[in-house]
Structure 1
Amino acid sequence: MKAAVLISPNKISLCDVADPAPNQGDVLIRVRAATICGTDIRIYRGRKTSGVRYPSVLGHEFAGEIIDHGGHESLKVGDRVGLCPFIACGHCHLCKTGRENLCTEGAAVGYEIDGAFAEIIRIPEQAVAAGNLRPLPDHMSYEEAALVEPLSCVLNGQNKVGLSSDDTVVILGVGPIGLLHVHLARLRGASRIIASDPNANRREAARAAGADAVVDPANEDVVARVRDETGGRGADVVICAIGVPALARQATELAAFGGRISLFAGFSKGETAEMDVNDIHYRELTVTGAFGLSRKDFDRAFDMVASGQLNLKPMITHRFALDDITDALSVAEGGLAIKVALLDA
């Protein structure tokens, strides 16, 4: 089969490799659509190294068709499926206390397990037994199913700050993840959504996704604009949806008294950020991180897409064959695309 193999930072090669050899109970899936995540780009560029193997195959947002059901009676060859790509261990303290997304004993597709930038992917039996696979309804495309994983992470992040219909929300950075935050905040009935991004195309995409106001931080004072949009109060929720350290400090300036801040996006290796501790102290701000997803998040996000509550189809703006992986990564990194998909030829 063909696979895009990560050889070293900045080097991915399309290679002919052996088909995955399944162990007992493993399932083989022919990848029909895989979308490129910002984390894939950070790994490709060597800006994220934790858990990364060389050589390996990236890609954790995908959906496909079963070609070997591994003996599972509930599955059959030809089934269309999506996957929650994180496989928690199920027995550590974090798993037992409902924080399986933070499990340090688990494994993730696209990291410890070769991922979906390949024609065929092996799903370990443990993931199948745990219910990580979801069958796709007939009306749900492979591309939509691939976007369930990042939406699940966004759902986890918004749950961590308790985003509700009472809230004015500021989203800093409206790349693919920021746009998903806009979509979900709109679905949850946020009272006002303000999106900030220097990219004009992404600002317009944010408006189309449901943002009430958009800000160009390259030419506007974001803090002044948010104060103006909120009657001087500031935002109830501020979401840093891109890993730019300076935004962490800005988030405390944007938050209202009692506001909640989500440091949703990770930074590149070695980067740190400053925050105004007095703002946090005197204005009783809550600052939280958000990492990954649980099966619960995945199932809820899957149902939002499958039921039509969220239409994510417009987010796929560029499509490539696996053969063109380097071009696909370049377009995803360049900022003109919203979401880039690799499709089965």
Structure 2
Amino acid sequence: MKAALLTAPNDLVLAELPVPALESGDLLIRVRAATICGTDIRIFRGRKTAGVRYPSILGHEFAGEVVDTGGCSGLSSGDRVALCPAISCGHCHLCKTGRENLCTNGQAVGYEIDGAFAEFIRIPAQAVAAGNIRKLPDGTGFDEAALAEPLACVLNGQEKVGVSAGDVVLILGAGPIGLLHVYLARLRGAARIIVSDPNAHRREAAMTGGADATIDPRNEDITVRVREETAGMGATVVICAIGVPALARQASDLTAHGGRISLFAGFSKGEMAEMDVNAIHYNEITVTGAFGLSRRDYDRAFDMIAGRRMDVRGLITHRYGLDSTLEAFETAESGEAIKVAILND
């Protein structure tokens, strides 16, 4: 099979590899669509190294067709499916208390387990038995189903920071994750959504997606603009949707008294940031992190997409074949795209 193989940081090559061999209970899927995540780019560029092995196949946002069921009941060859890639152990304290996204005994599809930037992917029996596979209903495309995973992460983040009806939400960053935050905050009843991003194309996409106002932080004073947009109060929720540590300090300056901050985006190990601890203390600001997704998050996100409660199709702006994976990564990294999909016809 063809696969985009990461042999070292910054070294992504198209390789011919054997089709993955299955063990009892494993599932073999022909990948039809896989989308590029910011985490994929961070691994590619060597900014995320924990747990990463070389060589490996990246890609954890995907959907495809069952080729070999491995004897799994309830699935047949040709079934159109997507995968929740959070493969937790299921028996540690974190899993038992509903925090399986933080399980330290689990495995990550896309580097610990070879991922979806390939013609075929093996799904471990553990994930199949745990119910991580979802069948696509008629009318749901492979590429949009691939976006259930990032939407599930956004759901987790907004649950943690408590986005609810009436909130004034400020989203720092309008990449694909920032835009999903816009979509979801609107669906959850936010009273006002403000988005800051230096990219004009992405600011326009934020407005189309439901934002009430956008800010160009390179040419505008974001503090002044946020105060203008919030009658001087600041935002009740600030979401850092891009992994720039300096935004953490900025977030504490832009949050209303009693407000909440989500450090949602992934940061590189060892990165540090200053925050206004005086404001956090005296203004009673809550700061929370958000990592990954649970199967519950994934199921909710999948159902939202499959049921058209959220239409994510417009987020995919560029599509490439597997042979052009490196070009697809460069496009995703350039900022000219929103979401980039790699398709196998």
Structure 1 partner of 2:79:
79
1:334 partnered with 2:334:
yes
Structure 2 partner of 1:291:
291
**Aligned counterparts of 1:202 and 1:272: Cα–Cα separation in 2:** 27
**Aligned counterparts of 1:256 and 1:232: Cα–Cα separation in 2:** 9
**Aligned counterparts of 2:113 and 2:245: Cα–Cα separation in 1:** 30
Q: Which runs of 5+ in 1 are unaligned?
A: none
Structure 1 runs (4+) greater than 6 angstroms displaced: none
Structure 2 partner of 1:270:
270
Structure 1 partner of 2:325:
325
What is the CA-CA distance between 1:223 and the residue it aligns to? 1.0
Structure 2 partner of 1:100:
100
Structure 2 partner of 1:38:
38
1:149 partnered with 2:139:
no
User: Structure 2 length normalisation: TM-score?
Assistant: 0.99
Q: Kindly tell me the number of residue pairs found equivalent between the two proteins.
A: 345
Structure 1 partner of 2:254:
254
Q: Deviations over 1:246-294 (max 9, x none)?
A: 1000000110000000000121233111100001000000000000000
What is the CA-CA distance between 1:58 and the residue it aligns to? 0.2
What is the CA-CA distance between 1:112 and the residue it aligns to? 1.0
Given residue 2 of structure 1, which amino acid in structure 2 is its aligned partner?
K
Given residue 324 of structure 2, which amino acid in structure 1 is its aligned partner?
D
**Aligned counterparts of 2:58 and 2:271: Cα–Cα separation in 1:** 23
What is the CA-CA distance between 1:331 and the residue it aligns to? 0.2
Given residue 81 of structure 2, which amino acid in structure 1 is its aligned partner?
V
Given residue 184 of structure 2, which amino acid in structure 1 is its aligned partner?
L
What is the CA-CA distance between 1:82 and the residue it aligns to? 0.5
Q: Deviations over 1:310-331 (max 9, x none)?
A: 0100000000000001100000
Counting only pairs closer than 5 Å after superposition, residues 180-195 of structure 1 correspond to structure 2 as 180-195=180-195
Q: Deviations over 1:10-42 (max 9, x none)?
A: 001100000000000100000000000011001
**Aligned counterparts of 1:199 and 1:234: Cα–Cα separation in 2:** 23
Q: Secondary structure, in 3 states, of the residue corresponding to 2:275?
A: coil
What is the CA-CA distance between 1:111 and the residue it aligns to? 2.3
Structure 2 partner of 1:69:
69
Q: Secondary structure, in 3 states, of the residue corresponding to 2:18?
A: coil
**Aligned counterparts of 2:61 and 2:142: Cα–Cα separation in 1:** 10
Counting only pairs closer than 5 Å after superposition, residues 153-168 of structure 1 correspond to structure 2 as 153-168=153-168
Structure 2 partner of 1:177:
177
Given residue 15 of structure 1, which amino acid in structure 2 is its aligned partner?
A
**Aligned counterparts of 2:260 and 2:273: Cα–Cα separation in 1:** 17
Q: Which runs of 5+ in 2 are unaligned?
A: none
**Aligned counterparts of 2:75 and 2:276: Cα–Cα separation in 1:** 53
Q: CA RMSD in A?
A: 0.6
1:56 partnered with 2:56:
yes
**Aligned counterparts of 2:73 and 2:248: Cα–Cα separation in 1:** 49
1:201 partnered with 2:201:
yes
Given residue 267 of structure 1, which amino acid in structure 2 is its aligned partner?
F
**Aligned counterparts of 1:270 and 1:319: Cα–Cα separation in 2:** 34
Q: Secondary structure, in 3 states, of the residue corresponding to 2:284?
A: coil
Structure 2 partner of 1:213:
213
Given residue 142 of structure 2, which amino acid in structure 1 is its aligned partner?
Y
Q: Deviations over 1:40-94 (max 9, x none)?
A: 0010000110111100000000000000011112000000001000101000000
Structure 2 partner of 1:315:
315
Q: Secondary structure, in 3 states, of the residue corresponding to 1:23?
A: coil
**Aligned counterparts of 2:252 and 2:49: Cα–Cα separation in 1:** 29
Q: Secondary structure, in 3 states, of the residue corresponding to 1:185?
A: helix
Structure 1 partner of 2:113:
113
**Aligned counterparts of 1:111 and 1:300: Cα–Cα separation in 2:** 25
Q: Secondary structure, in 3 states, of the residue corresponding to 1:156?
A: helix
**Aligned counterparts of 2:3 and 2:259: Cα–Cα separation in 1:** 46
**Aligned counterparts of 2:299 and 2:267: Cα–Cα separation in 1:** 27
**Aligned counterparts of 1:298 and 1:76: Cα–Cα separation in 2:** 22
What is the CA-CA distance between 1:206 and the residue it aligns to? 0.4
Given residue 251 of structure 1, which amino acid in structure 2 is its aligned partner?
A
**Aligned counterparts of 2:186 and 2:139: Cα–Cα separation in 1:** 23
Structure 1 partner of 2:5:
5
**Aligned counterparts of 1:97 and 1:189: Cα–Cα separation in 2:** 29
Q: Deviations over 1:179-224 (max 9, x none)?
A: 0000111111100000000000000000000000000000011111
Q: Deviations over 1:132-189 (max 9, x none)?
A: 0000001100011000000000000000011001200000001010000001111111
Given residue 150 of structure 2, which amino acid in structure 1 is its aligned partner?
P
Structure 2 partner of 1:91:
91
User: Structure 1 length normalisation: TM-score?
Assistant: 0.99
